[in-house]
Structure 1
């Protein structure tokens, strides 16, 4: 109810739109709601056996959303199969008859939408045809199978008079469909096509290029190109507008973890720890913030505790889960490197005390990392000491130049023999 300051001068109350993280954009507002990538995260948690506890009500809510909101029998069957009887046995699921009825209803709806396309071709213009094709594609992404959705978007992309901007939007939506179903190869192909259009054509405006950076970064995460993902993600912190592909909170988690492995300590403080955008959501991601802050503060005991809690987050996220073991190993190595950089030699007991673990734990992990060439050190088992062995940069460069020179000479000699023949 609107209050009045006095009877003669009523106060006009303006509706204020709730602020959202990132920069809102027309492209984001017009992006398709489906496929729902937040639902995809929940399906991941439901169908993988090593994730965080997922309550029965949350499990049931996933199936109810697929059945009632999406009305997607194909996806419903797929999730039932992936979840298995141990999960589905305790839930209330649709019968085969109900799923068949849903398929019939979707078939009728699809025929009606295709009829609108034909009608637009006969009695309207190119814009109306494109709008009708968009409606078909988005319905397919919501309620039909992956194959049907990709085919529907293919028809939209192949329209002869579609603008490059709309084509980029369609390609991004298509990549989301492929990503939703775990088809990373196809998803990457569509992102590549969209990127080519954005850089070479006239439809690659500022907003679309920034959104494509996030799409590419998430693709890099799945491909374990963490360095490539890190640079793209940190560039988009202040301009994030891709809520259709991931939440801002998840985006910040990906940004922090990927950059933790690659950026130097001063930049970690500037861009991550003191970054205003990151501070704005710090209370929602306490484990990741604690991990970062404890590493910067050299509080290795707190760092390892944060790593233990982080493991559950890695398993629960579809982008981080495939490489969970990689993340845990690299975060371990990161802490060991930082600790050893401060010493020429240090006892195993002192290092174990700093990390809050046993000497056997340090001995086991450090020896593995040293043997793999990930730590420049050696362990004096008799003396119980780790001795750092920092390589001479100039000597290393010299050896690298000699090796490359030998390789080049060998290739020249082979080429000379071929030419003589």
Structure 2
């Protein structure tokens, strides 16, 4: 039996990453080792199909964003989740052949796969044979085409997965008896990754829990497992479990870990903050991660930049917007891929409010088409409106409604309604003289603003103490 050791085989990978500088946005050493499953681009496609099905996203907008008719996108998704257009028997036979091999054959195939993967530039199109996900899509989307898989087919696929997982678990036993800790880790990861690809969220997370529970597991490998667990949670829309898993990962990284994995963890944490609508925390991590992003398995670099721009416009000062976003070298590299959000940043900075509002209209379908931003689309658009109104009013002590409406390219009545809502909610420091048709700004100084904030928080604290006192008395 091979001698025990802390399980970490990244020495060569680390040296490789330090000797050759990589372009921003390309996978890092640990990212290259990450499982391609679950596929987050597939999750985005599924979300877009769902949005079109619920009429939340129009067919025209979906086609423009994806570059494909939604009906064709649906067929693509169903094919990918199912058997890839093959018969169930053929798909099962091909999948089975990958695992019913001798050890020598498997080693040779792994080398071939690595060589092929290094040359791949196109999206992976391997069918998932995921019966649980297929059922979910069938029931949600009412997919009942003639070539749809039947319940008998799906049951056969599940039985096939049970047989494959049994083989993979036998490899764990064999590794424990005949090999070392590294081989045991790889065998456990094979089970977890297969479950993440082909089965349910629960089965995948359970298998990954076995990985992180392994003795002598290095910090790097444990963090890798937690990040893959995070993607499983994200793929199935379990944001609570995603946040809990990242909390565990953060505790692990406190004990050590390389900068590569630290940067990847920050990118994952940024996405978690985004999902929980903590846009302030997300914006900080997103803008910090622009220059170090390497999580190709999490999202595309252009997507990450889009998240960074949308969130940071709400919090950065004008000078920082110019420096970090408009003139940011990394952002300029992908600006052609995200024209709408770049237009948003430029029009706001240039105070072209009419074009800015038009860009907000164009931005809306992009927010809806994104699974991370869609739940918060209304909130984000509202905050972006407040941002522009406040920036405009900061330049005046008073301004007529008509003049402001002209600057924004909207009607006076519409502007009056919008401003009234935001002023009443305390979002704008201004008041409207309806009789004179004038908006008067009322900008409190910093000390007064802090004083008002302290009074407000003090009232909230006092109310909580009083409620607690009543509970204690009972």
TM-score, normalisation: structure 2: 0.79
Alignment length (residue pairs): 393
For the 8 Å contact 1:157–1:170, the answer to whether it is kept is yes
Q: State the SS of the aligned residue for 1:331.
A: helix
- Residue matched to 2:133: 75
- Residue matched to 2:241: 186
For the 8 Å contact 1:117–1:132, the answer to whether it is kept is yes
Aligned equivalents of 2:137 and 2:36: distance in 1? Answer: 20
- Residue matched to 2:72: 57
Q: Deviations over 1:236-285 (max 9, x none)?
A: 11110001111101000000001000000000000000001111111111
- Residue matched to 1:9: none
Q: State the SS of the aligned residue for 2:82.
A: helix
For the 8 Å contact 1:56–1:91, the answer to whether it is kept is no
Aligned counterpart in structure 2 of residue 295 of structure 1, from 338, 348, 367: 348
The reply to whether residue 129 of structure 1 matches residue 132 of structure 2 is no
Superposition misfits of 4+ residues, deviation over 3 angstroms: 89-92, 395-412
Aligned equivalents of 2:199 and 2:376: distance in 1? Answer: 30
Could you tell me how far 1:399 is from its partner in structure 2? 5.2
The reply to whether residue 353 of structure 1 matches residue 406 of structure 2 is yes
For the 8 Å contact 2:313–2:345, the answer to whether it is kept is yes
CA 1:218/1:409 → structure 2, altered by over 3 Å: closer, same or farther?
Answer: closer
RMSD: 2.4
For the 8 Å contact 1:230–1:255, the answer to whether it is kept is yes
Could you tell me how far 1:81 is from its partner in structure 2? 2.2
Counterparts of 1:148-167 in structure 2 under 5 Å?
A: 148-167=203-222
Aligned counterpart in structure 1 of residue 394 of structure 2, from 322, 341, 349: 341
Q: State the SS of the aligned residue for 1:70.
A: coil
Counterparts of 1:357-372 in structure 2 under 5 Å?
A: 357-372=410-425
For the 8 Å contact 1:52–1:316, the answer to whether it is kept is no
Aligned equivalents of 1:286 and 1:411: distance in 2? Answer: 47
Q: State the SS of the aligned residue for 1:261.
A: coil
CA 1:150/1:400 → structure 2, altered by over 3 Å: closer, same or farther?
Answer: closer
CA 1:164/1:344 → structure 2, altered by over 3 Å: closer, same or farther?
Answer: same
CA 1:380/1:93 → structure 2, altered by over 3 Å: closer, same or farther?
Answer: same
Aligned equivalents of 2:241 and 2:280: distance in 1? Answer: 22
The reply to whether residue 30 of structure 1 matches residue 83 of structure 2 is no
Can you give the 5+ residue segments of structure 2 that lack an aligned partner in the other structure? 1-19, 63-69, 84-126, 466-474
- Residue matched to 1:377: 430
For the 8 Å contact 1:45–1:52, the answer to whether it is kept is no
Q: State the SS of the aligned residue for 2:415.
A: helix
Q: State the SS of the aligned residue for 1:224.
A: coil
Counterparts of 1:101-180 in structure 2 under 5 Å?
A: 101-180=156-235
- Residue matched to 1:418: none
Aligned counterpart in structure 2 of residue 198 of structure 1, from 253, 258, 281: 253
For the 8 Å contact 2:24–2:292, the answer to whether it is kept is no
Can you give the 5+ residue segments of structure 1 that lack an aligned partner in the other structure? 1-16, 413-421
Aligned equivalents of 1:368 and 1:228: distance in 2? Answer: 26
TM-score, normalisation: structure 1: 0.88
Aligned counterpart in structure 2 of residue 222 of structure 1, from 275, 280, 285: 275
CA 1:402/1:100 → structure 2, altered by over 3 Å: closer, same or farther?
Answer: closer
